[in-house]
Amino acid sequence: MNTADPNTPQTETVLILDFGSQYAQLIARRVREAGVFSLLMRPDAPLDEIRAHKPRGIILSGGPSSVSEDGAPRCDARVFDLGIPVLGICYGMQLTAELLGGRVEGAPHREYGRAQLQLNAPAGLLHGVPDHATVWMSHGDQVLALPSGFSTIASTPTCPFAAVEDRARRIFGVQFHPEVTHTAHGMDIIRNFLFQECGCAGSWRMSDFVETECRRIRGRVGSSRVLCGLSGGVDSSVVAALLARAIGKQLCCIFVDNGLLRKGERELVESTFRGHFDVDLRVVDATQDFLGDLAGVADPQQKRRLIGHRFIDVFQRAAKSIEGDVRFLAQGTLYPDVIESGHGHAGTAANIKLHHNVGGLPEDLGFELIEPLRSLFKDEVRKLGEVLGLPESIVWRHPFPGPGLAVRCLGPVSEEQLRVLRDCDEILLQEIVSAGLYRQTDQVFAVLLPVKSVGVMGDGRTYDSVVAIRAVTTQDFMTADWARLPSEVLATISSRLINEVKGVNRVVYDISSKPPATIEWE
């Protein structure tokens, strides 16, 4: 399923045929950053499906395969006959050459890293690129003979056909990766392809997405009602705000208070969606149910299972009480979720995980799914939240685990431990925001450890809890590094936690990276 309506015929669209490149999503992001809507598609997408999108251009991504291998991914060779500009990147360039009659063979040495590009034709695709430019190479095969009609526009000392073109047919190829930051003028090359070769205007904006998606939602929903599981996180909040704009009171949001939330979280959600957006919001306080399930449970996986099962039960019971024709369930599925699940362009994406974004809700709830964010990346969702008027505290909120504070309270969970952890979390975030570090870090939180230590406070001995502070920076949350917070900020945080939170007498800082450690402790 593609979310095709954002790229209606009135919207400029560039399609990216993904041959399994680790940079495929990055290409899509770079195109969108230039103001042109992009969609990733499977490499063997039928020609009719490609035509249906009315693309201004097509980009063939890189990939780990060799074009000579059995089973190597291929596209329909007729994409070159559509009269649409095509840009092949790395494997995409090699496949272009091979399909059009050129010759591709293994290079004497696999080329990986920076290389110096020498321009032959500093115009067209390479307009504005210096005669000598640094580019990023990553390839084992190489084009050794060009197809008829092609000419060389740039080379490197080890790659005579580093950039090529068939000017008459508007087909281009680059052996390097313009989408990565290591290629100094890569965005210039991408913009040249989009604006000079494809004739795009770069007019795609998030405000356009709002109006187009609202029309699509209204057309699909009609007079029915839509349920939305609201967590307070950015994804579900943006979905709720978008649906509120589109269908008003036909939307009903269910917020489950599981007793594992941060301080003030329920109040923030209520004031935002009842006050500002005037949404039909049903808050279900199931604190005692969740804490009862968790009593005495120390194993983190068991905690997650119990919380997930209870959430489904509470949500189902709440859903049954909603009046009217409730046919749809809205979820905050994002584009990376679709791709990782293998649904975005099945056949090249590994089926890493199946995403059910509303608390792990099963598919057999009996609702039709609405996933209005499934064509957007995370940073685009945040931009959408700003356009919709969500408060900064929600739009730029750091990720918060679905099981909540239960997995930041190591060992069995109690109300007293949750009280300590909430107070610590509030102070920690206050100091991170005060120091101007919230937007410079990607996740910051406190962990209550299942140990006690001796301390001295005043004239007396204490035997109280230890709190660990975790702060990381990351681009994709697949890997992460511990944040180098200033020592004076850490000192202030430690002093406040020990002096203001009853039950804490020691603070430690987690300096583990992912891998080998995970971001969350449980």
**440-478 pLDDT, tens digit each:** 999 999 999 999 888 877 667 788 899 999 999 987 677
Average of per-residue pLDDT values in the chain: 88
pLDDT the model gives residue 310: 93
CB 297 within 8 A of CB 423: no
Answer yes or no: is pLDDT of 44 > 80: yes
pLDDT the model gives residue 362: 60
Q: Which residues contact 290 (CB under 8 A, 6 or more apart)?
A: 258, 259, 260, 307, 310
pLDDT the model gives residue 410: 95
Answer yes or no: is pLDDT of 344 > 60: no
Catalytic residue check, 179: yes
Answer yes or no: is pLDDT of 479 > 50: yes
Q: Which residues contact 71 (CB under 8 A, 6 or more apart)?
A: none
Query: 139, 177, 185, 355: which is the annotated catalytic residue?
Result: 177
| Tens-digit pLDDT profile for residues 484-493 | 999 999 999 9
Per-residue b or e along 58-76, where b marks 16 or more CB atoms closer than 10 Å to that residue's CB:
bbbbbbebbbeeeebbebb
How far is 426 from 444, CA to CA, in rounded Å? 11
How far is 294 from 220, CA to CA, in rounded Å? 41
pLDDT the model gives residue 384: 93
pLDDT the model gives residue 354: 30
Tokens of 499: 């002096």
Q: Are strands 326-330 and 368-370 parallel, antiparallel or unpaired?
A: parallel
DSSP state of 129: -
Query: 12, 53, 75, 90: which is the annotated catalytic residue?
Result: 90
| Tens-digit pLDDT profile for residues 486-515 | 999 999 999 999 999 999 999 999 999 998
Amino acid at 397: R
Q: Looking at the DSSP assignment, which residues form a beta bridge with residue 142? A: 105
- Confidence tier at 365 by pLDDT (50, 70, 90): low
CB 431 within 8 A of CB 444: no
**264-278, 350-364, 367-381, 449-463: the lowest-pLDDT one:** 350-364
Query: 179, 197, 265, 431: which is the annotated catalytic residue?
Result: 179
Tokens of 306: 């119990």
Tokens of 522: 């449980």
CB 15 within 8 A of CB 208: no
Tokens of 43: 């490499």
How far is 350 from 283, CA to CA, in rounded Å? 38
Tokens of 284: 């279900």
How far is 86 from 43, CA to CA, in rounded Å? 13
Mean pLDDT, range 47-51, rounded to an integer: 94
Catalytic residue check, 177: yes
Site of tokens 């007729």:
78
Mean pLDDT, range 209-236, rounded to an integer: 91
Question: Which strands, in side-by-side order, build the sheet including 132-145?
Answer: 37-41, 13-17, 57-60, 86-89, 171-174, 159-166, 151-156, 103-119, 132-145
Listed ranges 12-26, 136-150, 214-228, 452-466; the one with the highest mean pLDDT:
214-228
How far is 79 from 63, CA to CA, in rounded Å? 18
pLDDT the model gives residue 9: 40
Concatenated DSSP letters for 15-83? EEE-SS-TTHHHHHHHHHHTT-EEEEE-TT--HHHHHHT--SEEEE---SS-TTSTT-----GGGGGSS
- Confidence tier at 334 by pLDDT (50, 70, 90): confident
Q: What percent of the chain has pLDDT over 90?
A: 61
How far is 160 from 520, CA to CA, in rounded Å? 48
CB 397 within 8 A of CB 445: no
pLDDT the model gives residue 459: 64
pLDDT the model gives residue 212: 86
Distance between start and end Cα atoms, the chain:
34
pLDDT the model gives residue 355: 34
Phi–psi pair at 249, nearest 5 degrees: -70, -5
pLDDT the model gives residue 110: 63
CB 65 within 8 A of CB 73: yes
Answer yes or no: is pLDDT of 349 > 80: no
